[in-house]
Amino acid sequence: MENFNYYIPTKILFGKGKIESLGKEASQYGKNILIVYGKGSIFQKNCYGTSLYQQAKKSLEEVGLTVFELPNVEPNPRIESVYEGAKSCREHKIDLVLAIGGGSTIDCAKAIAGQAKYEGDIWKCYETKDPRPLREVLPIASVLTVSATGSEMNGSSVISNLSCHKKIGLTTPKFRPVFSILDPSYTFTVNQKQTASGCVDIMSHIFEQYFTPDHEGYLQNRMMEGVLKTVIHYAPVALKHPDDYEARANLMWASTLALNNMFEKGKVLTDWATHQMEHELSAFYDITHGVGLGILTPYWMEYVISEENHHRFVEYGREVWKLTGTEEEIAEISIRKTREFFTSLGIPSHLREVGIGEENLEVMAKQATRRGPLGAMKKLYEEDVLAIFKMAL
């Protein structure tokens, strides 16, 4: 096992009714709060007979906090929303940026918290993937409403700049939320498509860390298989019974654990090629992240599997899908099982089904590899990425 440091300081408040602690937790960071939310789900009536918006405002105002708002954050959040939120932070001397929503809202809140304290243009930090100019970042917190990205407990933020067709992630410990409220009941209202794509995203985060050519990371791989089995077990339950608390709770904690940096610790490599490729699809076509991942993943698996790395597919097939047979059979069937599972969740299996044709494949492949080859299972150069996009058409 590789050496590592492990420090994940986000305080998690998990479970029913935890919103009641919001005001008390937030008041530790100052008086002025900017709440950042999406296009309207926050106003939906929830299982508490009210809306999350009302619950959050009540909890914050009860302890004397002043609440400012940035509504309308887009799925695949835009840099323009970041600038608007940062302006509001400066005008109102904001002490804490509180995201209420899914990964898009949380990612936007992180970038706002960075831009608010930075004189330059934060987009340049995303473009160069260099967070060092961000010496100070406002405290960030979240109330999570979709199980998917892990943004609630990690230091990553993914922002889109559609004017130049770029969607880029930036990671810094300064972006880790100081606290996150995870009440699975809030995800009862998440629709079928977002529930399914969130589940694919969780699984993909695991795949990116699980599918590596090395033979180390025994413990990490067993823990990751546990997360995969949990999603495979509970995703169909949540789709059939959207208000099944146990299903939603397992998916929520799975989403947080899948990408809070715990599993990668001690492993030699991680892959992340599928995510880099998907970010190009979202940047050009503004598609849902988990849908893009669901389409690409089985083709990526078929493309990268080789004699050197097929032991990982064998492990995956045996442990996650309980397959038996020869190693070749298990490896091959494990990929088929993955595709069938995504299809059973309603995820398309071709790019054309989400409106993506041949027109931009070359430029997307070029852009995906602009910083060098992708991946660890197999190094993917521009022509490899193009080949995978073509397979997925």
Q: Which residues bind ligand NZQ (CB under 6 A)?
A: 38-41, 75-76, 101-105, 107, 145-146, 148-151, 154, 156-158, 186-187, 189-190, 194, 198, 201, 259, 275, 289
Q: Which is nearer to ligand NZQ, 255 or 369 (CB)?
A: 255
**CA 106 to CA 75: how far, in whole Å?**
11
Q: Which is nearer to Zn ion, 201 or 280 (CB)?
A: 201
**CA 143 to CA 154: how far, in whole Å?**
14
190 touches which of ligand NZQ, Zn ion, none (CB within 5 to 8 A by kind)?
ligand NZQ
Q: Which residues bind Zn ion (CB under 5 A)?
A: 201
Compute the least distance from the CB of residue 279 to ligand NZQ, in Å: 7
Torsional sign, CA 283, 285, 290, 296: negative
Q: Which is nearer to ligand NZQ, 186 or 321 (CB)?
A: 186
259 touches which of Zn ion, ligand NZQ, none (CB within 5 to 8 A by kind)?
ligand NZQ
Compute the least distance from the CB of residue 293 to Zn ion, in Å: 6
Tally Cβ neighbours within 10 Å of residue 343. 13
55 touches which of ligand NZQ, Zn ion, none (CB within 5 to 8 A by kind)?
none
DSSP state of 74: P
Report angle CA 68, 167, 384 to the nearest 5 degrees: 160
Q: Which is nearer to ligand NZQ, 152 or 384 (CB)?
A: 152
148 touches which of ligand NZQ, Zn ion, none (CB within 5 to 8 A by kind)?
ligand NZQ
Report angle CA 312, 314, 320 to the nearest 5 degrees: 95
Residue 121: Cβ-neighbour burial (10 angstroms; 0-12, 13-18, 19+): middle
Compute the least distance from the CB of residue 13 to Zn ion, in Å: 24
198 touches which of Zn ion, ligand NZQ, none (CB within 5 to 8 A by kind)?
ligand NZQ
Q: Which is nearer to Zn ion, 53 or 389 (CB)?
A: 389
Residue at shortest CB range from Zn ion? 201
Q: Which is nearer to ligand NZQ, 258 or 377 (CB)?
A: 258
Q: Which is nearer to Zn ion, 115 or 274 (CB)?
A: 274
Compute the least distance from the CB of residue 329 to ligand NZQ, in Å: 32
116 with 146: CB under 8 angstroms?
no
107 with 123: CB under 8 angstroms?
no
Compute the least distance from the CB of residue 155 to ligand NZQ, in Å: 8
**CA 260 to CA 10: how far, in whole Å?**
10
Strand partners, 359: none
Tally Cβ neighbours within 10 Å of residue 372. 7
Query: For the residues of 142-158, what is the DSSP string, one character each?
Result: EEE-SSSS-GGGSSEEE
Compute the least distance from the CB of residue 326 to Zn ion, in Å: 33
Compute the least distance from the CB of residue 251 to ligand NZQ, in Å: 12
The 10 Å CB-count burial string (b at 16+, else e) for 266-275 is: bbebbbbbbb
86 touches which of Zn ion, ligand NZQ, none (CB within 5 to 8 A by kind)?
none
Pairing of strands 96-101, 32-37: parallel
Q: Which is nearer to Zn ion, 34 or 376 (CB)?
A: 376
Compute the least distance from the CB of residue 204 to Zn ion, in Å: 6
Alpha-carbon separation of residue 51 from 12, 13, 19, 58 (angstroms): 22, 19, 12, 11
261 touches which of Zn ion, ligand NZQ, none (CB within 5 to 8 A by kind)?
none
